[in-house]
Chain A
Amino acid sequence: MPISDEQITRLIYRSCLRLDAEDFEAYLELFAPEFEYRISNYSVEIRKDQRWMDVNQDEYKALLESIPLHSKPLGTFARHANVYDIERNGEDRAKVTTFLTVYYTTPDGGTKVFAVGKYFDEVDISGDQPLIADREVRLETREVGIGSIVPM
């Protein structure tokens, strides 16, 4: 049975929900082996593309496992995603474009927009379940205040 657009969309939304919940183990189950993850943007100041995070599977896993050791922002992040486009590339791969807004809520309960951008995902649709084989978080927002130990 081929993977449906609905399954792909649900995969993207699950990745947001699991990252919001900081359930990193379950989040990583949504990725294909040997995936890569990047956070990038275009810098108006230096007139170049730049990467603010660039990790492979092992590095990303270690990074997520180490988060409890860090002084991470005290509040919570919530991701709001809208899958804009699913473009199939043969039977094994789909390119998915998702609009992303990240909200930050302080421990006192105040909420503000933290960042906007897009997920550009390459999804492996060759198996029973779709899996993220490559994710680029392309940010419009370059000024993110305090920053974040937790990926987007």
Chain B
Amino acid sequence: MPRTAEEFLSPPSVPEDCYVSSSVYTDPDLYAEEEEKLLRRTWKFVCHVSEVPNIGDYRTHDWTGVPLVTVRSPDKKVRTFVNSCSHRGSRVVRYPAGNMKHMTCFFHLWEYDLYGNCTYQTRDEGYEAHGPTKEQAGLREVRTDTFCGLVFMNFDGNAAPLREYIGETATAFESIFGENDFEIFHLNRTHMKGNWKAWFLTNCDFYHEWGHQVNRSTNLTSPDYHDRPWRLNHAQGHGYTARKLDNEPFVVQYKNYKGWKNRDGLVLRGLQPGELVLTDLFPNTSVFMRTTCVRINHSTPYGPDHTVMEERGLGIKGESEADRRQRAKEFTQVWGPYSRNGAEDVAFVEESHRCQEFGANKYDVISRNEPIGDGLQRPQSDAYVRLFYDKWGDYMGRPANNPKNLMTAAE
């Protein structure tokens, strides 16, 4: 039965933690608050260590509007700096990646070493009277740490250490990353008109697999598809699905997709042929282990409605050209701009945003409940999405179903 205007504007008749106000995807004020209270206080994925293997290797990136440069310093530690000259604020390092001996601003040629110290001020006698001295003009260093070869940064000096932050969720990938010496072979970036949470939650919402021809044929037809539970890390807001309750691997039937074969070769150590393991780290990093390759997916928001999604593919360092080619081939069957799933996922986010943007869809329903026993939930449950918004509410000090408290104000 179609809904009336009143029904349409009212919250869905489900429990309060089972819906979200669409304003969390569209409201500029909420987004600004997210930057301050959440995105600058949680660990943000930067890159894989194989992107900066040598001293002087760097990657530039942005977070909460702040340009950053992550570099391997001469002591081999990976560091991150705010990529803005202490003088007049220009971006110091402007290329996406490369190798450098020092960082020289192209504007007035101030120079910084790879520890962030200011080492040269052009015609420095001009600063003798009023300063700043070089000692006062270093770059702002941002906390950076590495776990399993994944480099993360955090603006918040008081946040829990990275290892503690990842917590027990590490069990899903620590051994696999420990047993394989990974190296990056794929990277693509996509600008999308949509919210960063919507992108991340698409990764966490297995119910959306119904929208993918690949997943319908290779995953959902597996008789034990629904038997691997969500393992939720309530303290930190992470989640993963890996082995089934009986500890047997969940095996994807790739042969069910026309033209594909099952993945029995090049299996990563720690995985079984065909096995699929997925990990979601709050607030926006997903690590997928799909038998022969690893995908790391995260996004950089530039506003409530502009998100740059970035995905990386990892293979084995030093493997033969033929093996690398096969691994990359299997990666790009499912992921990447010309893959079978990539364009579909972006479309899901953009089409939802189109309806949320001007209020055509007031609420996001996240009520799927599929208990599997022992307090666990089946993969197509919204259990993780609810946990995500519970954690979001903790950081923001607002409930996601009524973040601006508009209904209370109206009463």
Contact = CB atoms under 8 A, between A and B. Distances in A.
A144 B346 CA distance: 11
Interface string A54-85: 11001101110110011111000000000000
A46 B343 contact: no
Given A48-B185, A71-B347, A147 B190 contact: yes
A147 B97 contact: no
A149 B192 CA distance: 17
Interface stretch (A5-13, A24-32, A37-45): A37-45
B62 interface: no
B189 A146 contact: no
Contacts of B234: none
A62 B259 contact: yes
A107 to B, nearest CB: 13
Contacts of B328: 50-51, 54
Top 7 A-B pairs, shortest CB-CB distance: A62-B259, A147-B343, A147-B337, A69-B213, A62-B258, A54-B329, A147-B342
23 contacts: A43-B186, A46-B184, A46-B186, A48-B184, A50-B185, A51-B325, A51-B332, A52-B186, A52-B332, A52-B339, A54-B325, A59-B259, A61-B259, A62-B259, A66-B213, A71-B343, A71-B344, A145-B191, A147-B336, A147-B338, A147-B339, A148-B338, A149-B344
Interface of A: 39, 43-48, 50-55, 58-59, 61-63, 65-66, 69-73, 142-149, 151-152
A66 B218 CA distance: 14
A44 B95 contact: yes
Contact of B258 (A39, A65, A145): A65
A55 B344 CA distance: 20
B259 A63 contact: yes
Interface of B: 51, 59, 95-98, 184-192, 211, 213, 257-260, 312, 325, 328-329, 332, 336-340, 342-344, 346-347, 350
Given A52-B188, A73-B347, A147-B342, A45 B258 contact: no
Contacts of A146: 190, 192, 343, 346-347, 350
Contacts of B332: 51-54
A142 B338 contact: no
A98 B319 CA distance: 33
A50 B339 CA distance: 14
A52 B187 contact: no
Contact of A148 (B213, B343, B350): B343
Contacts of B59: 45
Contacts of A50: 185-187, 328
A52 B336 contact: yes
A72 to B, nearest CB: 7
A45 B186 CA distance: 10
Nearest to B61: A45
A52 B332 CA distance: 6
A43 to B, nearest CB: 5
Given A53-B332, A143-B190, A146-B346, 13 more contacts: A45-B96, A47-B97, A52-B336, A53-B336, A53-B339, A55-B329, A142-B189, A144-B190, A145-B190, A146-B347, A147-B343, A148-B343, A149-B340
